[in-house]
Amino acid sequence: MRRLPAAVVVAGVVLLVLVAAHPVAGPVSGPQREAAEGDDTGIELLREAAYAGRTRSYTGTRLVTTWGAAGPSSALTHVRNVPGEGLTVRAETAAGAGTVAVGVDPGSPAAGLVSPSDGMLDVLARNYRVETAGTGTACGRTGRFVQATRADGSPAARYLVDEAGGVVLRREVFDGRGTLTRADAFIELSVPQERAAPRMSGHAWYGGPSLGGGPPNGQVAHLRQRGWDVPAALPGRLELFTAGETAEGYLHLGYSDGLSVVSIFVQRGTLDESRLAGWHARSRGGHTIWIRGLTGFEAAAQQVVWASGEHVYTVVADAPADMVDAAVAVLPHQEGIGAWEQVCRGADRLLSWISPFA
Amino acid sequence: MSHLGERVSALVDGELGHSERDRALAHLTFCTDCRAEVEALRALKSRLRALERPAMPADLTMSLLRMSEPGGPLPPRIRPFPDASHTFGGVPIPGMHTISPPDNRPPRRGRGRPDNRADSSARTGRARRAGYVAVGMASAAVAFGTMFVVGGLGQAPPVVPQMERFANQHKTTAPYVQPGFSEAVHPTPHATPTPIRSPRPVK
């Protein structure tokens, strides 16, 4: 009998070991992958709820409650959604029912962010662990809880999705310490057509295509070339989703972490504090900011104003207070224009006066 | 031909040209007056040449020699910058009526010993350099000051946040959705909604 070469024998042994090890590795990795997919079932349920909130007609009464530094503030709103036309929100005030918004996107802050777009849900899934968390009831309807959890295990938000109608019955947002800061809850809801609507794919309801990412890099670079400060992100995992200079000459930046929305408006000029009626100056981190106490539906959005250099910053946010404070802290806070900047500007002006090409 | 007149002296000194001299000599052959005048002038010049040169006085010679020595008795100089306060860094600042050439005369005898001339020259050089530095710094300060003042002109206008517009734009902007598809109105106590166009989409 002819003897096999030693190299062939070694190769055969290695192959046998690999084949023998493969069945062992399979059962170990399989359950782990299935468990990871199980964790993501919450985001799929939220996508279904967001889709239902855009494509189904419903009317109801929603209670919006915010817990701020001045205590809780509640507002009763009447909402009506018509697919293709948008959501109409009317808020109960002391003088009657005031219309807040007509035909707005159900994923907008005016609609309570209860039907976020696909792009916003992607950001939510990227920043938080989203998983189902049992069942519950609200306004006599049964639903399933979906909880968004931070990396440290603290809750960031909790949704109750209606099993029959598919819309979000209740939405709660927590701050970094796990304290409830806002709750949007239906106390009455009517969904005439409760059967599932055909799922559209690739586009958000009647609006344009859902933007998967933030603003184009070229657009941000253009704004920075024009002298605007455009942070790509803010503390609290806030990602830039829109940036643009309006025809009125101010800058609008929008940030979101998938749960909250922070809008920043920057105007060129100095803050005319004498005309800030109803605003109160506060010191935060050695800087002076202006806030004002709002009631009713307007209290859901925090508003902060301050001046930095020759710019006036205004922050309007549907976000927990600690997230707003952290965002405000990292934005520019200059007492005035710097001496060197003023010298440089003077040199530019002198050069422009002298140079015939300027 | 008339009398020689002024040409008598030129003829005696030999300053006339050939033709002029010939005509003058021809005139002298028949003009007794001119011939007498020429002879008188020649006699006078001959006597003058025969005279001895006057001797230079000794004191005058010594006085002239002393004037050529350094540090000699010079007249008092009018200072170009009489006011000592008009100096900067050791360099006098010229005024409207004080422009004059620099004083490059050698120092007077009583000002210092000859072996200190090097030190004095070094001090003068340092002072001049310090003056140049001071003038440069002053010029830079004036330039920066001018740029600072010009840069402060036309400060940014005072503004007030357009809160109604900002709040409206915030609440109607759905994240990651193409803008321009929604409308919003401001809260009013009226039951009838009055749609207001949503803010212009950002660029």
Residue B111 has pLDDT above 80, yes or no: no
Query: Which residues form the domain of B21?
Result: 7-50
Is residue A205 domain-resident? no
Same-domain status, A150 and A62:
yes
Q: Using the beta-carbon criterion (under 8 Å), do B172 and A90 form an inter-chain contact?
A: no
Greater pLDDT, A259 or B203: A259
Proportion of chain B above pLDDT 70, given as a percent: 59
Q: Using the beta-carbon criterion (under 8 Å), do A342 and B152 form an inter-chain contact?
A: yes
Is residue A199 domain-resident? no
Give CA–CA dist A314/A119, Å, rounded.
25
| Listed residues A175, A190, A205: the one ending a domain | A190
Is residue A92 domain-resident? yes
Same-domain status, A177 and A237:
no
- Model confidence at B106, in pLDDT bands (50, 70, 90)? low
Is residue B27 domain-resident? yes
Is residue B29 domain-resident? yes
Is residue B38 domain-resident? yes
Q: What is the pLDDT of residues A295-322, one digit of tens each?
A: 777 777 889 999 988 899 999 999 999 9
What is the reported pLDDT for B193?
Answer: 33
Question: Which residue in B178, B191, B203 is closest to A211 by CB distance?
Answer: B178
What is the reported pLDDT for B149?
Answer: 78
What is the reported pLDDT for A33?
Answer: 37
What is the reported pLDDT for B30?
Answer: 86
Query: How many structural domains comprise chain A?
Result: 2
- Model confidence at B116, in pLDDT bands (50, 70, 90)? low
Complete DSSP assignment for A240-298: EEEEEE-TTS-EEEEEE-SS-EEEEEEEESEE-GGG-TT-EEEEETTEEEEE----GGG
- Closest listed residue to residue A52, CA positions, set A199, A201, A235: A199
- Model confidence at A58, in pLDDT bands (50, 70, 90)? very high
Could you tell me if B182 and A104 are in contact, meaning their C-beta atoms sit under 8 angstroms apart?
yes
Residue type, B102: P
Chain A hits for B158, Cβ within 8 Å: 269-272
Q: Using the beta-carbon criterion (under 8 Å), do A104 and B176 form an inter-chain contact?
A: no
Cα-Cα-Cα-Cα dihedral sign, residues B2, B5, B10, B14: positive
Backbone angles phi, psi at A323, to 5 degrees: -70, -40
The CATH number of residue A166's host domain is 2.50.20.10
Same-domain status, A152 and A235:
no
Q: What is the pLDDT of residues B4-22, one digit of tens each?
A: 888 888 888 888 888 888 8
Instruction: Give the least confident one: A11-20, B73-82, B162-171.
Output: A11-20
What is the reported pLDDT for B1?
Answer: 58
What average pLDDT is seen over chain A? 81
What is the reported pLDDT for A97?
Answer: 65
Is residue B133 domain-resident? no
Instruction: Enumerate the β-bridge partners of residue A96.
Output: A93
Give CA–CA dist A258/A236, Å, rounded.
11
Instruction: Enumerate the β-bridge partners of residue A183.
Output: A65, A172
Proportion of chain A above pLDDT 90, given as a percent: 46
| Average pLDDT for B159-169 | 91
Residue A175 has pLDDT above 60, yes or no: yes
Query: Which residues form the domain of A80?
Result: 41-190
Is residue B16 domain-resident? yes
| Average pLDDT for B134-156 | 82
What is the reported pLDDT for B148?
Answer: 78
Same-domain status, A183 and A51:
yes
Same-domain status, A123 and A254:
no
What is the reported pLDDT for A252?
Answer: 95
Q: How far is B170 from chain A (nearest CA, A)?
A: 6
The CATH number of residue A236's host domain is 3.30.200.100
What is the reported pLDDT for B72?
Answer: 55
Q: What is the pLDDT of residues A232-268, one digit of tens each?
A: 999 999 999 999 999 989 999 999 999 999 999 999 9
Is residue B46 domain-resident? yes
What is the Cβ-side half-sphere exposure of residue A42, based on CA atoms within 13 angstroms?
23
What is the reported pLDDT for A124?
Answer: 94
Instruction: Give the least confident one: A54-68, A146-160, A333-347.
Output: A333-347
Residue type, B110: G
Give CA–CA dist A300/A74, Å, rounded.
9
Chain B hits for A104, Cβ within 8 Å: 171-172, 174, 182-184
- Structure-block tokens of residue B134: 């001071």
Q: How far is A53 from chain B (nearest CA, A)?
A: 14
Could you tell me if A220 and A243 are in contact, meaning their C-beta atoms sit under 8 angstroms apart?
yes
Could you tell me if A259 and A113 are in contact, meaning their C-beta atoms sit under 8 angstroms apart?
yes
| Average pLDDT for A69-73 | 79
Give CA–CA dist A121/A105, Å, rounded.
15
Could you tell me if A322 and A176 are in contact, meaning their C-beta atoms sit under 8 angstroms apart?
yes
Residue B139 has pLDDT above 50, yes or no: yes
Chain A hits for B155, Cβ within 8 Å: 270, 310
Proportion of chain A above pLDDT 70, given as a percent: 80
Q: Using the beta-carbon criterion (under 8 Å), do A99 and B167 form an inter-chain contact?
A: no
Strands A155-162 and A168-174, sheet pairing: antiparallel
| Listed residues A173, A190, A207: the one ending a domain | A190
* Nearest residue in B to A343, CA atom: B148
What is the reported pLDDT for B196?
Answer: 36
What is the reported pLDDT for A331?
Answer: 94
What is the reported pLDDT for A265?
Answer: 96
Question: Which residue in A96, A122, A296 is closest to B191 by CB distance?
Answer: A96
Could you tell me if A324 and A262 are in contact, meaning their C-beta atoms sit under 8 angstroms apart?
yes
Is residue B2 domain-resident? no
What is the reported pLDDT for A209?
Answer: 47
- Residues of chain B numbered 60-99 and touching chain A (CB < 8 Å): none
Q: Using the beta-carbon criterion (under 8 Å), do A310 and B156 form an inter-chain contact?
A: yes
Q: Residue B1: CB partners within 8 Å, gap ≥ 6?
A: B23, B26, B27
Greater pLDDT, A86 or A205: A86
Same-domain status, A336 and A253:
yes
Is residue B21 domain-resident? yes
Greater pLDDT, B91 or A168: A168
Cα-Cα-Cα-Cα dihedral sign, residues A10, A14, A19, A20: positive
Same-domain status, A158 and A229:
no
What is the reported pLDDT for A72?
Answer: 83
Same-domain status, A183 and A224:
no
Query: How many structural domains comprise chain B?
Result: 1
Residue A197 has pLDDT above 60, yes or no: no
Q: Residue A60: CB partners within 8 Å, gap ≥ 6?
A: A78, A79, A139, A186, A187, A188, A189, A190
| Listed residues A190, A209, A237: the one ending a domain | A190
Give CA–CA dist A101/A114, Å, rounded.
15
Residue A25 has pLDDT above 50, yes or no: no
- Residues of chain B numbered 147-176 and touching chain A (CB < 8 Å): 147-153, 155-163, 165-167, 169-176
Same-domain status, A110 and A171:
yes
- Closest listed residue to residue A154, CA positions, set A259, A84, A72: A259
Chain A hits for B185, Cβ within 8 Å: 99-102
Residue B91 has pLDDT above 50, yes or no: yes
What is the Cβ-side half-sphere exposure of residue B50, based on CA atoms within 13 angstroms?
6
Q: Within an 8 Å CB–CB cutoff, is residue B180 touching chain A?
A: yes
Instruction: Beginning with the edge strand found earlier in the chain, give each strand of the sheet holding A155-162 in spatial order.
Output: A129-138, A141-149, A155-162, A168-174, A180-190, A58-68, A71-82, A86-93, A96-104, B183-184
Chain B hits for A243, Cβ within 8 Å: 202
* Nearest residue in A to B150, CA atom: A346
